[in-house]
Amino acid sequence: MPNPPPDELLPKTIPGHVSWGKQVRYTFPWRDESYSSQEVDAYRFPHSPGTFWMNFRMSRFQENGILRTDGVRVRVIVRTAAAEVIEVLPWRVYHTAGWYSLRWPLPSLPFAEGVGIWLETDRQESSRGIVEIQGFDGAYPRSDRYVLLDEEDRHLLLFQEERDVAVYRSGSSGSGSKKKPVLATIHDLFDEDLPATHGISPTEIEGVPLFPLALSLTRV
């Protein structure tokens, strides 16, 4: 998937149309042990219905509580339904305590097991880290399909909600059917052989189009 230019850090970006009263801030209470390792701390984005995550901040402190001033390597990835790992933001060194853009408004959905969005950082045993993300509720229309497009209007990722095919029953006697749970998946749509469109109509997309934040938004 195409990434930003090398070494470019995307500044905190907030759409002009969002309401500050609908801001959602989330601080990760712990790392995701399933996807962390001795080299990497991984933080899985939570499900916050109707929220679109837009910015992140990584703060790292010394053992005495003083904020560290050296940079922290961070990347943001998605894991797809096909078990692919795709970078939303590649590895970059970020200044601690600064807010940065996630490049897109990333929809918060009830992802299936092993599917979703993760922020990863280099692990450092000698310091304590705090990872935060910022989003806004209702910033874009509710839908069961969202398509991420790059700066050249190429389709990159499909975020899709689906009903579980399994049939659930309530009660010990098996009478009374339960509503099938909704699970979300992510699919890779990018095709290197397809030319950039440089101007796509939303009617050509099967889902709500989500464009890079920096294209038409106010930076703060």
- pLDDT tens per residue, the chain (220 residues)? 676 656 689 999 999 999 999 999 999 999 999 999 999 999 999 999 999 999 999 998 877 777 877 889 999 999 999 999 999 999 999 998 899 999 999 999 999 999 999 999 998 776 788 999 999 999 999 999 999 999 888 899 999 998 665 544 444 445 445 566 779 999 999 877 776 666 666 666 789 999 999 885 544 4
Residue 3 DSSP SS3: coil
List C-alpha distances in Å: 86 to 75, 76, 83, 188.
Answer: 11, 9, 10, 8
CA atoms in the 13 A half-sphere facing the CB of 156: 20
Whether residue 123 contacts residue 40, with contact meaning beta carbons closer than 8 Å, is answered with yes
Question: pTM for the complete prediction?
Answer: 0.86
Distance in angstroms (rounded) separating the CA atoms of residues 194 and 190: 8
- Residue 9 burial by Cβ neighbours in a 10 Å radius (0-12, 13-18, 19+): middle
Angle, CA 13 vertex, CA 10 and CA 16 arms, to 5°: 155
Give me the residue label for tokens 């304590």: 128
- Residue 115: CB atoms within 10 A of its CB come to 19
Distance in angstroms (rounded) separating the CA atoms of residues 212 and 89: 12
Angle, CA 69 vertex, CA 67 and CA 73 arms, to 5°: 105
Whether residue 74 contacts residue 121, with contact meaning beta carbons closer than 8 Å, is answered with yes
